[in-house]
Structure 1
Amino acid sequence: MDNFQVMEEKVDWKGRPTKKGVHGGIFPALFILVMFAFNSCAWVALAGNLVMYFTGVLHLDLASASNSVTNFMGTTYILAQIAAYLADAHVGRCKIVLISGFIEFLALLLLAVQAHIPSLKPQPCDIYDIKSQCEKIHGGNATFFYIALYSVAVGLAGAFAGVPSHGADQFDDKDPKELRHMSSFFNYLTASNAIGSILSLTLVVWIQTHVGWDWGFGTSAACVFVATLIFAVGVPKYRIHAIGGPNPIVQILQVLVAAVRNWRLPLPKDSAELYEIKNENGEEFLPHRDIFRFLDKAAIQRKKTNMNSETDKKSNDKWELCRVTQVENAKTIVGMLPIFICSIFMSTCLAQLQTFTIQQGFTMDNKLGKHIHIAPANLAIAPMIFMLVGIPIYDRLIVPLLRRITGHPKGISDLKRIGIGLLLSCVAMIVGAIVEIKRKHVAKSHGMIDANPLVNKLPISIFWLAIQHFTFGISDMFTYVGLMEFFYSEAPKPMKSIASSLLWCSLGLGYFLSSILVDIVNHATRNNTKSGGWLAGNNLNRNHVDLFFWTLAILTFINLLNYLYWANRYEYKSQPLHNASKVEVSQSQDCV
């Protein structure tokens, strides 16, 4: 098999060639969609309400609890990038979903055990009582808890990495009809995630809050068990991506190394003199682009002396000479990096919905009528419902309208869609700051600065926080769906799965950045506040979350300006050349 030929053969679960009508298609994809809904039902409540477990049960202060949640989510998303590589190159997408489901199930059972046994957690204590000396979780109990928690992260990472790409494998992208079904699959995948999230933020959060955390973690474990079982039932019908072909990351590294090694060589005036191969095995060809010209040095051919010379042997060194298509793939990755980096900060803002916004809601009036109480984590239902309703409306109504105006097949380009989402994330942080100012004003005007939220709620409705959630819901619909399409469509052919997981990577880095910013802000303001920092201590009414949100809004706006600069300079990848005669062929050997 040629080193540059991308293996796209699909096999069944026994490694045999698949049969059309027997393997793949809509029916097995339904198993994957249902599985993802159950998996979302398990983990969304954990992520959305975990900050309350850290403060109320483990007795961490507000800043530490916030950082613990963002570190957990950040680790999960970063591990998804690693899992995507393992799925594509070593384990297989189907297997990694099954393995990760088993790990996640066991980890959630361990969390349920820890929440159930009193000796594995600190003694009950009111952290909001200034006179109380609450013991934080420590020692062996802390080790047990964090091993279980981060084992959940490992399991989730495998699901995030394997499910989208394995679902897309059920359709033949060379068949126009199945290609449309593949596009629909990604929309339905978003919808199944929204459905699972809504169930999680209502049913599972209610169990956590009113029945007990042990039952809450146990319910999540049951959801993962059902999800993995449903996924396993569909195994005989799946089209499974065969592992093999060149290592895509190595190919990119080869271009970078070859460009550095050839940095002294002058670039030819005619790009046709750059190295390319003959079309012998149906390889993909990409035309040369006049961007990132330094990388073109990787495709410069050294002059021949005689066939037995050491120089000629080195000219075929895969780390010294690369074909034009390989260089163009590297250029695409380099061009995508600034877009990826700009997307990180939006994830930092999104992290606040699972940390400080949850803590804000805990101090506010959460009654809906006389008998219904809304948990702070339930507010995340608002963006989920909006996405569940908004995505079909956008896809079926708004896109055709925009298509008539702009002539773009998607209505607007992926980069413009991402830009709109980044702008809305800035608006969401401004809204959050304004609502926090109002919340603190109510606390001050009613003499409730030191009120215990376990006993007395502020006379301001928790639904004020829904505005921020709603704005983020619109932002997510534009930014994250746009990023998924952008990374997938622009990525080199051998890196589709890995590139798609860049979305999870940006989320992970954004959550880590949130933890870093909280520490920086507390350190910078420790001498200006009585509590030792804007976000220090357990009294949210005396803290300055509003100033923190204003800071994030300003940084988000600066990030938006940086994004606009790089988006305007980005050159979309050229379409592959299917006719080999359009490519100037210079040698018959390839370079890997």
Structure 2
Amino acid sequence: MMRKSRDADHDAKEEQRPLNQWRRSKGGFMASMFIFVLSALDNMGFVANMVSIVLYFYGVMHFDLASSANTLTNFMGSTYLLSLVGGFISDTYLNRFTTCLLFGSLEVLALAMLTVQAASKHLHPEACGKSSCVKGGIAVMFYTSLCLLALGMGGVRGSMTAFGADQFDEKDPTEAKALASFFNWLLLSSTVGAITGVTGVVWVSTQKAWHWGFFIITIASSVGFVTLALGKQFYRIKTPGDSPTLRIAQVIVVSFKNRKLSLPESHGELYEISDKDATAEKIAHTNQMRFLDKAAIIQESSKPQAWKICTVTQVEEVKILTRMLPIVASTIILNTCMAQLQTFSVQQGNVMDLKLGSLTVPAPSIPVIPLVFISVLVPLYELFFVPFARKITNHPSGITQLQRVGVGLVLSAISMAVAGIVEVKRRDQGRKDPSKPISLFWLSFQYGIFGIADMFTLVGLLEFFYRESPASMKSLSTSLTWLSTSLGYFLSTVFVNVINAVTKRITRSKQGWLHGFDLNQNNLNLFYWFLATLSCLNFFNYLYWASRYQYKREDSGPGFKPLGEMPLKRVERKQDCEVSRE
């Protein structure tokens, strides 16, 4: 008997050997190199537009200041929000590689349209003195290009990160360490591209011509997606599965239908597919949110049909996503703080001393400061901190993803507090002697601290959502990071409007903290300190949810029985029990 068992194990290993050899020949950092190239080239244009296109709206398309800012924030928020579309499609209908190329083609088309419109003066509106001067065919082309660009860039972000992470097997100890490193190097590659964008591309756009800047971005993005396509033979391409939204809806509907049923004493009596029938990962049962377990209750004469019974794994997928939502919500404030570094901090820099020796730094290039910090710190973190932390914690990433996010939240609060202090110094000098402003590089303190915060939080969230998400929802789950960013941008606009409206009523001067055009007459420092206080409160909220979070565990085998191998027992409804007692 034992000999037969050994022979069976030997045969199974022999059957798995070709598959293991195939997996070793594909994926890994060899495949990731193509993705790093795309990340750098694509992010070069994305960040360049993010920090400078508001000037294009204002100077070329003749929006006023408020409309220019709103158009930018709406565009950025929509781009990050549309990453959910890319994530959904790559999880359900197309594989992540195809999804990335599809949305990439839309992005390149939109950039080409922007280039043509910027280069053709007859496609520019005439100045009219109103909040927006674009109309007719000019407006159609302008807004069509922005919508396509938001859809293309969002779709790429919703699929590219998960596609890169697919090149590593998180179940393999060696590749699990490599997966943690992948997210760090992905951040570094996108940062290098962003540095090029906010320096070289911004300089070309603002000092030479806007259409040349858009043209460079178009060519760079095209080269990036061609590079991605050339690496196809090296990729591990996973096929999409069932619709994640349908799987979620099934659990909610069936658990509601079974709300009056009593849960069995042992969770082993809940329905789960057998190991031999399983084609995807099975997730172990957890005791949180037990009401959802009712979707897996086996009733008399039950058959395993959709919308009538769900597996334990399917129920646990919904539990995982539900546990993730408070984590997502806890990072929105951090992204609201980040929005200030792209708006008010840039305006601060514009009225400071922009001289760096004989060189004048363009105001839109100010965000290069945190990018330089990140480009230096990521290699130091990966090469020195992570190996040291691994020896202490035995965790593949050095520290857990939620610990990493927590560090970022603390640093973001410190960054806003420092920003308020720097603003006081800048404003006092501006009121005392406007001809001698303080140096731009005083902003390096708040930018540098937030750069470190972003390095911890962004990578921590991407890795957390990828590792914890169910196999059928990897892209959609990692898109939750960009959803948080999107909501942070929109919340920034709400805060600015609300703070201005409230402070205008309660201050003696009857002027809002952020009124008018003169920063020297504003109280921007108080707004920064408001965000710092809110960030501290948000950190304690995050600690509560992070401490309660239960990490995903895969089902290791026995405990659940498939429907066909389990004796069916009648599950009584609560109302039936009450009748029998009478």
Band of TM-score, shorter chain:
0.7 to 0.9
Secondary structure in 2 matching 1:240? coil
Q: How much does 1:24 deviate?
A: 4.5
Q: Distance in 2 between matches of 1:119 and 1:460?
A: 42
Q: Distance in 1 between matches of 2:22 and 2:352?
A: 58
In structure 1, what is the equivalent of residue 416 of structure 2?
429
Q: Distance in 1 between matches of 2:496 and 2:250?
A: 39
Amino acid at match of 2:52: N
Alpha-carbon distance change, 22 to 286 in structure 1, aligned in 2, over 3 angstroms = closer
In structure 2, what is the equivalent of residue 350 of structure 1?
338
Q: How much does 1:425 deviate?
A: 0.8
Secondary structure in 1 matching 2:285? coil
Alpha-carbon distance change, 271 to 31 in structure 1, aligned in 2, over 3 angstroms = closer
Gaps of at least 5 residues in structure 1 are 1-17, 126-132, 305-311, 449-456
Q: Distance in 1 between matches of 2:392 and 2:235?
A: 41
In structure 1, what is the equivalent of residue 374 of structure 2?
387
Q: How much does 1:339 deviate?
A: 0.6
In structure 2, what is the equivalent of residue 470 of structure 1?
448
Alignment of 1:148-187 (within 5 A): 148-171=145-168, 180-187=177-184
In structure 2, what is the equivalent of residue 43 of structure 1?
46
Q: Distance in 1 between matches of 2:168 and 2:458?
A: 23
Secondary structure in 2 matching 1:358? helix
The answer to whether the Cα contact below 8 Å between 1:122 and 1:136 also exists between their aligned partners in 2 is no
In structure 2, what is the equivalent of residue 4 of structure 1?
none
In structure 1, what is the equivalent of residue 3 of structure 2?
none
C-alpha offsets along residues 96-153 of structure 1, whole Å, 9 cap, x if unaligned?
222222222222232233333445445679xxxxxxx677433234443232223211
Secondary structure in 1 matching 2:133? coil
Alignment of 1:191-590 (within 5 A): 191-243=188-240, 245-283=241-279, 284-302=281-299, 304=300, 312=301, 316-370=304-358, 372-446=359-433, 448=434, 459-527=437-505, 533-577=512-556, 579=557, 581-587=558-564
Q: Distance in 1 between matches of 2:167 and 2:402?
A: 28
Secondary structure in 2 matching 1:364? coil
Secondary structure in 1 matching 2:274? coil
Query: Please, which moves more after superposition, 207-216 or 181-190?
Result: 181-190
Identity of aligned residues (%): 42
Alpha-carbon RMSD: 2.8
Query: Please, which moves more after superposition, 340-349 or 19-28?
Result: 19-28
Q: Distance in 1 between matches of 2:436 and 2:67?
A: 24
Amino acid at match of 2:384: L
The answer to whether the Cα contact below 8 Å between 1:71 and 1:515 also exists between their aligned partners in 2 is no
In structure 2, what is the equivalent of residue 70 of structure 1?
73
Amino acid at match of 1:361: G
Q: Distance in 2 between matches of 1:20 and 1:571?
A: 30
Question: If the length of structure 2 is used for normalisation, what is the TM-score?
Answer: 0.85
2:143 paired with 1:146: yes
C-alpha offsets along residues 381-408 of structure 1, whole Å, 9 cap, x if unaligned?
2222222222232233223333444454
Q: How much does 1:20 deviate?
A: 6.0
Q: How much does 1:565 deviate?
A: 1.1
Alpha-carbon distance change, 60 to 517 in structure 1, aligned in 2, over 3 angstroms = farther
The answer to whether the Cα contact below 8 Å between 1:62 and 1:535 also exists between their aligned partners in 2 is no
Secondary structure in 1 matching 2:521? coil
Q: How much does 1:78 deviate?
A: 0.8
Q: Distance in 2 between matches of 1:118 and 1:522?
A: 38
Alpha-carbon distance change, 542 to 123 in structure 1, aligned in 2, over 3 angstroms = farther
Amino acid at match of 1:355: T
The answer to whether the Cα contact below 8 Å between 1:66 and 1:515 also exists between their aligned partners in 2 is no
In structure 1, what is the equivalent of residue 13 of structure 2?
none
The answer to whether the Cα contact below 8 Å between 2:514 and 2:524 also exists between their aligned partners in 1 is yes
Q: Distance in 1 between matches of 2:365 and 2:84?
A: 29
C-alpha offsets along residues 340-361 of structure 1, whole Å, 9 cap, x if unaligned?
1111221111111221211221
Alpha-carbon distance change, 67 to 514 in structure 1, aligned in 2, over 3 angstroms = farther
Q: How much does 1:568 deviate?
A: 1.4
What is the aligned counterpart of 1:98 among 96, 101, 106? 101
2:75 paired with 1:88: no
Gaps of at least 5 residues in structure 2 are 1-20, 567-582
Query: Please, which moves more after superposition, 528-537 or 429-438?
Result: 528-537
Alpha-carbon distance change, 116 to 364 in structure 1, aligned in 2, over 3 angstroms = farther
The answer to whether the Cα contact below 8 Å between 1:49 and 1:354 also exists between their aligned partners in 2 is no
Q: Distance in 1 between matches of 2:504 and 2:123?
A: 33
Q: Distance in 1 between matches of 2:56 and 2:292?
A: 50
C-alpha offsets along residues 470-527 of structure 1, whole Å, 9 cap, x if unaligned?
0111101111111111111111122122211211111111112112222222333445
Q: How much does 1:180 deviate?
A: 4.9
Q: Distance in 1 between matches of 2:168 and 2:553?
A: 24
2:115 paired with 1:112: yes
Amino acid at match of 1:97: C
C-alpha offsets along residues 2-40 of structure 1, whole Å, 9 cap, x if unaligned?
xxxxxxxxxxxxxxxx96687545444322221221111
The answer to whether the Cα contact below 8 Å between 2:183 and 2:463 also exists between their aligned partners in 1 is no
Query: Please, which moves more after superposition, 400-409 or 199-208?
Result: 400-409
Q: Distance in 1 between matches of 2:119 and 2:565?
A: 67
**Structure (1/2) with the larger helix percentage:** 2
Secondary structure in 2 matching 1:208? helix
Alpha-carbon distance change, 220 to 531 in structure 1, aligned in 2, over 3 angstroms = farther
Alpha-carbon distance change, 207 to 419 in structure 1, aligned in 2, over 3 angstroms = same
Secondary structure in 1 matching 2:437? strand
Q: Distance in 2 between matches of 1:169 and 1:407?
A: 23
Query: Please, which moves more after superposition, 562-571 or 514-523?
Result: 514-523
Alpha-carbon distance change, 465 to 167 in structure 1, aligned in 2, over 3 angstroms = same
Q: How much does 1:421 deviate?
A: 0.6
Question: If the length of structure 1 is used for normalisation, what is the TM-score?
Answer: 0.84
C-alpha offsets along residues 248-294 of structure 1, whole Å, 9 cap, x if unaligned?
33222211222211111122232222222322223533332221111
Alpha-carbon distance change, 419 to 19 in structure 1, aligned in 2, over 3 angstroms = closer
